[in-house]
Structure 1
Amino acid sequence: MVPGATDAAGYWRILTGGRDLMTEVPASRWLVTDHYDPDPAAPDKTYARRGAFLPEVDFDPLEYGVPPANLAATDTSQLLALMVADQVLTDAGGLSDLDRDRVGVVLGAASLELLPHMYGRSHRPMWLKGLRESGLAEAEAQAVCDRISAQFSPWRESTFPGLLGNVVSGRIANRFDLHGTNHTTDAACASSLAALSTAVGELALRRADLVISGGVDTGNDIGMFLCFSKTPALSRTGDCRPFSDAADGTMLGEAVVMYALKRLSDAERDGDRIHAVIRGIGTSSDGKGTAIYAPLPDGQARALRRAYEEAGYGPRTVELVEAHGTGTKAGDAAELTALRAVFEESGRGAAQPAGSGGQWCAIGSVKSQIGHTKCAAGAAGLLKAVMALHHKVLPPTIKVDRPTPAATDPDGPFYVNTEARPWVRSADHPRRAAVSSFGFGGSNFHVTLEEYVPSGTPARVPPRHRSAPSELVLFSGASVADLVPPESYGDRPLAALARESQGAFSPTDPVRLAVVASDTDDLREKYAQALALIRQRPGTAFSAPNGVRYASGDPAPGRLAFLFPGQGSQYVGMGAGLAMLAPAAQAVWDRLGGATFDGRPLHRLVFPPPAFADEERAAQAARLA
């Protein structure tokens, strides 16, 4: 559950579509008029008024065993975590065939929003002191304090567990009757990768057979904004631009992201759907530094080296890094320094494909789209990398008009990927990606993982998520009254709805309507507009520029033609959309993954790294021509 999406498929569409989920702070979090001041030095105020926020969702307390009377005293993180854990277990095939004694839950979580709210009541002596010193009579001062206290929820028996961070995981173990280890961990912004490290340890030590892990952070209250404002770490211009030369700070986001972890051999034996494989986890501390919150490249590099030592391969084979990438100048600079040190060590003297040279690895950060989700940041980055491997797509990082110089060295290992591109890979090794997460206090984590390649076991590769920017939805019937409205399809994703509508469509029906829609809301709106027009002129065919077409009566038999463009029609990026949507098209490119033209990999001529200057774009077009 991330800003703009409530499932993994929606998250993937956000990633590949390059959507920006930054908005003004909604009134449900805190009031800008109460807490905002553009002056960063203004006491008790924040100079930020934007962020990325989870969508509102319906929560059925009885479905998850939460007494409705306890909702006001239960942290949002605990409730949303139950819903996401339910998604994870469903995706993993349920619990019917699992030994619940060997299923655990380890999550990164902290900074829960209910705690400061409940502590508010304990400040009554300070309110009373101020009122007395202002000259109010005792009775009046007490009455004012009563009115202030009424703004806070009362303490009750369910309040204590309702605000504890560890109950985020505990409530999941309780609801789904899991008997393995159950706890949360706090490593600040590296919490979810710290939890991942512990979860993988449980599996490696064979104390568990399945562990739910991830990160939970719904804390975008005013207290969190003040913490980041007074560091200061938030963007003065109100945006998060990792690895851009215009980066001036981070922005805050919210997310609840989890995944099911098993030993690879067990997953293959059990015929599970495998999304990706973790190969190495490196952890480290910065040790002694200049300040407890200042990132140290040496400490981060230590974690990177340990990850690749455990994985058994070097970073020269890693082609995507989902970086911590907060958008702060000091943080991004330190991270790039560490990454370049380790990746360039790997590149020296290594056998390299013809023409690959430098810039073999895409680097980016999902924080450009959903902000810094704090305790859930590593989990959000890991899920992005897992889906990139599974879909064979290099996802974009947005808001980079010109990259920071440290990420643009033509002889260096990295380039900032600003557009979705097919991830072409020859068969010499699987696609490999890495994820970093670093926390205040010098907590460093780096994870390296690779795509799953079936090897004749019962294990399966899950289907891809549809990520087309729009879908074709068809309606037909004997009369206008027989057209089935979109609402009849329920609350299914647009791609599934489109598939079902195409299966039910009859080209010989007297009434036929086609709608190209970007989402279900867009579909409903266009359908309603089309229906109104049809009822005004029931026998008149029409085609609207917004992607709606209607016809009635006997269909005239048509003829079909294919157009094959000839020489001179080539352009940089041609066929990228098809390769990213159709596995058969991707497979053609992979078969030619080792092919070269004029000393360069063929796919790097057609799908080169993004260019940021007109001369560079012209050179790419000239090479392709």
Structure 2
Amino acid sequence: MRGSGPRADAGREHEQVPVAVVGLGAIMPGAVDVRGFWRNAVDGRDLITDVPPDHWLVEDYYSPEPGTPGKTYVRRGAFLPPVDFDPLWHRVPPRDVPMTDTAQLLGLVVAEQVLADLAGGLAGLDRERVSVILGASSLELLSTVACRVQYPLWRKALREQGLPESRVRAAVDAISAQYAPGTEATFPGLLTNVVAGRIANRFDLHGANHTTDAACASSLAAVHGAVAELALGRADLVLTGGVDAANGIDTFMCFTETPALSPTEDCRPFSAGADGTMLGEGLAMFALKRLADAERAGDRVYAVLRGLGASSDGGGTAIYAPVPQGQARALRRAYRQAGYGPGTVELVEAHGTGTAAGDRAEFRALREVFDDGDREDRRWCALGSVKSQIGHTKAAAGAAGLLKAVLAVHHGVLPPTIKVDRPNPELDFAGSPFYLNTVARPWVRGPDHPRRAAVSSFGFGGSNFHLTLEEHAPSGAGRLRTAPTELVLLGADSAEELLARIDGLDTGRAPADLARDAARAFSAARSH
């Protein structure tokens, strides 16, 4: 069964070549690897904390009054944990480390995790046909270099204050000494594309290597390129995902001036209390293969990417304003490529920034596409956003959402979104296909289709991406047949009530139907 299909209104998209996710790696707030990320996601941990002093000093840059020149009204965010980095192991000269952006260094660590997770690693693969395509937007060292060369402005300002030339020179020298001196390693150390280049160099990979910048949609833009690389036969394995370690004061100031940050210093996507986003940082990468190749090689397949729609908002609006019609266009393209409709998707990992305009636009786009099918029931698809836990990881946001969705279909668990106990009443969840999943739940798979999820990511400039994926059903394994037995989840407020519910089960029905209905009833009870 294909499920309900999107409107057949236009489009020449062909069905996408199925792409397998065969390796994972990540460093995220509160987690140095994928296992830690998933544990935090399922446990619903809030990883937004005070800004650590090695990022920037609150006493220098914070003011509770929005609009204060040179100050941000936010002093919290989500930050990476300490990570051991061995420069010699990763073939980075120790003297070059201070001139190399953190994103480049941690990118090597995460790429190594992915390759270690890949069955057999690179053994047996033609390295001529292994590519690296990553989403990355900006690196922090660029601002450091820009500041270091501003000495003519410092000198001019000091002279205008009447300081003698000797004191002007001394002051300029003292300020310059606060920055690492420029060397031959400085330029490559601050380039965004070298995040991918270092990985290709370290692991001797000879396929394409480049980064793509679509602002906060950069990760899924990179996956879009990686899928095309595989579909066109230009590569047999692609390392892809997103990298963002830029949570310095310059990033905070940019988001402060937009203004997009939460004045109450929390990220509550789709909640009645949502008033802005919070900044995070993170890295997540995936090893992708054509599904047929992965199955032939006997790889572990975490999930299968089925459709990836991309669109632009076009003209007529502000360059930074979210446009529901543009987002809906990307969704429709994804489902046409997938060959199934959104009516079979039971989890959407939303862009979900927690801004009022962003949440409204995204929910409107989702309603437009998900309502446009033959399902008449309501509240059958879980909606959430990992940003409620780790903030907005910017260029890595799509990768964080994709990692959560991949692990959800792989483990058969619907992870929670936190801080949404009271949904935004303007969004009318009760009359929609969506419910906000606020606790971890077992994801009971029905007999008609595999578990299916979707991920959205949108960026400044009108860049829209929507990816739909499903769990892997190995050829001939019969995973979609109705099982003779199923685990049935029941809940009650007392032992007597629980026994009554057990006695009331219709044992004449198919076990899968019983399990699915029981899980829905349990979820509905927990939602109230």
CA shift for structure 1 position 23: 0.6
| Structure 1 segment 9-28 matched on structure 2, within 5 A | 9-28=35-54
- 1:136-189 per-position Cα deviation (integer Å, ceiling 9, x unaligned): 011111110000000011000111001100000000000000000100000000
Name the stretch that deviates more: 260-269 or 283-292: 283-292
SS at match of 2:123: coil
CA shift for structure 1 position 610: 4.4
- 1:238-288 per-position Cα deviation (integer Å, ceiling 9, x unaligned): 000001010000000010100100000000000000000000000000001
| Structure 1 segment 190-269 matched on structure 2, within 5 A | 190-269=217-296
1:183 aligns with 2:102: no
User: Which of residues 603, 615, 618 in structure 1 aligns to 2:519?
Assistant: 603
Distance 1:377 1:301 in 2: 19
Match of 1:155? 182
SS at match of 1:278: strand
Match of 1:2? 28
- 1:381-430 per-position Cα deviation (integer Å, ceiling 9, x unaligned): 00000000011111100011200125443231111111101111212100
| Structure 1 segment 81-92 matched on structure 2, within 5 A | 81-92=107-118
Name the stretch that deviates more: 407-416 or 117-126: 407-416
CA shift for structure 1 position 594: 2.0
SS at match of 1:437: strand
| Structure 1 segment 159-170 matched on structure 2, within 5 A | 159-170=186-197
Percent of aligned pairs with the same amino acid: 64
Distance 1:253 1:239 in 2: 11
Q: Assess if the C-alpha contact under 8 Å between 1:113 and 1:219 holds in 2.
A: yes
| Structure 1 segment 182-581 matched on structure 2, within 5 A | 182-346=209-373, 349-350=374-375, 357-456=377-476, 567-569=496-498
Match of 1:529? none
Quick one: which amino acid aligns to residue 125 of structure 1? P
User: Which of residues 155, 164, 180 in structure 2 aligns to 1:128?
Assistant: 155
CA shift for structure 1 position 566: 5.7
Quick one: which amino acid aligns to residue 241 of structure 2? G
Q: Assess if the C-alpha contact under 8 Å between 1:82 and 1:171 holds in 2.
A: yes
- 1:110-157 per-position Cα deviation (integer Å, ceiling 9, x unaligned): 210111112212100111111011110111111100000000110001
Distance 1:191 1:18 in 2: 26
Match of 1:46? 72
Quick one: which amino acid aligns to residue 346 of structure 2? E
Distance 2:260 2:141 in 1: 24
Distance 1:58 1:118 in 2: 26
Moved over 4 A (4+): none
Q: Assess if the C-alpha contact under 8 Å between 1:107 and 1:185 holds in 2.
A: yes
SS at match of 2:195: helix
CA shift for structure 1 position 601: 2.4
Q: Assess if the C-alpha contact under 8 Å between 1:40 and 1:230 holds in 2.
A: no
| TM norm structure 2 | 0.88
Q: 1:20 to 1:566 in 2, by over 3 A?
A: closer
Q: Assess if the C-alpha contact under 8 Å between 1:252 and 1:373 holds in 2.
A: yes
Distance 2:380 2:274 in 1: 24
Match of 2:17? none
CA shift for structure 1 position 101: 0.3
1:68 aligns with 2:104: no
Distance 1:120 1:359 in 2: 52
Q: Assess if the C-alpha contact under 8 Å between 1:203 and 1:263 holds in 2.
A: yes
Quick one: which amino acid aligns to residue 606 of structure 1? F
SS at match of 1:567: helix
User: Which of residues 117, 120, 129 in structure 1 aligns to 2:144?
Assistant: 117
Quick one: which amino acid aligns to residue 512 of structure 2? G
Larger Rg: 1
User: Which of residues 144, 158, 163 in structure 1 aligns to 2:171?
Assistant: 144
Q: Assess if the C-alpha contact under 8 Å between 2:360 and 2:427 holds in 1.
A: no
Q: 1:407 to 1:317 in 2, by over 3 A?
A: farther
Distance 2:198 2:246 in 1: 18
Count of paired positions: 481
Q: Assess if the C-alpha contact under 8 Å between 2:216 and 2:458 holds in 1.
A: yes
Q: Assess if the C-alpha contact under 8 Å between 1:244 and 1:404 holds in 2.
A: yes
Distance 1:7 1:101 in 2: 28
- Structure 1 gap segments, 5+ residues each: 458-564, 575-587, 612-616, 618-625
Q: Assess if the C-alpha contact under 8 Å between 1:360 and 1:413 holds in 2.
A: yes
1:593 aligns with 2:512: yes
Q: 1:431 to 1:609 in 2, by over 3 A?
A: farther
Q: Assess if the C-alpha contact under 8 Å between 1:415 and 1:609 holds in 2.
A: no
- Structure 2 gap segments, 5+ residues each: 1-26, 478-493
SS at match of 1:277: strand
Q: Assess if the C-alpha contact under 8 Å between 2:442 and 2:519 holds in 1.
A: no
Distance 2:88 2:510 in 1: 52
Match of 1:508? none
CA shift for structure 1 position 609: 6.7
Match of 2:104? 78
Q: Assess if the C-alpha contact under 8 Å between 1:417 and 1:610 holds in 2.
A: no
Q: 1:165 to 1:123 in 2, by over 3 A?
A: same
Match of 1:102? 129
Q: 1:327 to 1:610 in 2, by over 3 A?
A: farther
SS at match of 1:62: coil
Match of 2:5? none
CA shift for structure 1 position 344: 0.3
CA shift for structure 1 position 21: 0.4
SS at match of 1:82: helix
Distance 2:268 2:526 in 1: 16
SS at match of 2:150: helix
Distance 1:220 1:258 in 2: 19
- 1:584-612 per-position Cα deviation (integer Å, ceiling 9, x unaligned): xxxx9x9733238xxx923212332742x
CA RMSD of superposed structures (Å) = 1.9
- 1:186-232 per-position Cα deviation (integer Å, ceiling 9, x unaligned): 00000000000000000000000000000000000000000000000
1:30 aligns with 2:56: yes
Distance 1:174 1:283 in 2: 30
Q: For CA contacts below 8 A with separation 6 or more, give which structure has more relative contact order.
A: 2
Q: Assess if the C-alpha contact under 8 Å between 1:284 and 1:443 holds in 2.
A: yes
Quick one: which amino acid aligns to residue 184 of structure 1? T
| TM norm structure 1 | 0.75
Distance 1:28 1:295 in 2: 33
